[in-house]
Amino acid sequence: MSFPKVSKDNKGKKDAVKVQFLANSLEIVLDKEKCTGCCACVRACPKEAFSRYQPEGPQKFFGKQIIYKKKKYQVPFIYDPLACSYCGLCTFICPFDALRLKVNGEEVPPEKLKLVEEQAVPQLESEKITLEDGKEAKVYTKGSLSIDVNMCNTGCYNCAEICPSGAISTSPDTVTKKRGEYEQELKIEIEESKCLYCGACHEICPTGALKLIIDEVSYSGDYNSPFWDEVVERLKIKPDKTSS
C-alpha cells in the first residue's frame, strides 16, 4: 500500500476528506447541517483547497448540497484532499462551527490548534449570536450590507432563505395584474442590525444585487507570523469583489 492514502466520505449529514500517512492520519469534517455556504473557509484557506464549485473529472466530490429552509444550496468543501495542509485554519474562522480537524481520529478544538498554540494566529474577538434555528454563530467581522433593487430581478429570494440571522426578509410590496390574474410581488428588506456579515447572501445572490462589504476583522493578542495578515485580507469582501 502506498502512502499517503486519500479517502473521501459522505456520511449523510457530514462530509469528510482524510489523508492517511504511515503512522498518522489527518481529516477535515464538514457538518452540512451547520454550514450556511458563507464561504469564509474559501476566502481564508491559504492553499485555496476549498471551493463551492466542484471541478469535473476524478477530483469531483459529492454534490455537496444542503437543504436549508426547504431549498437546496451548494456548500463549499475541499475539492482535492492533497491540496489541503490540514492546518485547521478553516475550523478556527468558521462562523458556524461547521468544520472540524481530526488528528488520528481525535477532534482538535479550534483553541487547541497548533496555529493557536504557536501564536501563528491571534485570538478572534467574537460575539456569540443565537440564530433563528437556535444554533449559535460567532461574529468577528464588521462591514455593511445593502441591495441594489434594480439588479434584483430574478425573484429567487435566495438571500432571504439562506440568511441565518433573519437580517434579510421579504414582505408584500405591490399587487400587479398579469394575464387577468392578480399577483403579489415581494420586496426584500434588510435589517442590518441583525447582520452577521458572514457572506452567505453574497455567495448565493445570482445577480450581484446584494452589496456586502466586510472591511474589519476583530482580533487581539500577539501573533508571530505574517500569515495572519494575509488571512485577514482574504476574509474581507471589498466592493465588486467576488469569491471563488
Span 117-165, pLDDT tens digits: 999 999 999 999 888 888 899 999 999 999 988 888 777 888 988 899 9
Total structural domains in the chain?
1
Please check the confidence at residue 53 and state whether its pLDDT lies above 50: yes
DSSP β-ladder status, 14-20 and 25-31: antiparallel
97: domain CATH number is 3.30.70.20
Range of the domain at 87: 5-120
C-alpha cell of residue 18: 482524510
Assess if residue 214 is contained within a domain.
Answer: no
Mean pLDDT, all residues of the chain: 84
Asked if the structure places residue 14 within a domain, the reply is yes
Cell of 107: 477532534
Examine residue 74 and state whether it is found in any structural domain, yes or no: yes
Q: How many Å apart are CA 41 and CA 95, to the nearest integer?
A: 9
Contact 197, 127 (CB under 8 A): no
Enter the DSSP assignment of 81. G
Stated pTM of the model = 0.84
Task: Say yes or no to pLDDT of 244 above 80.
Answer: no
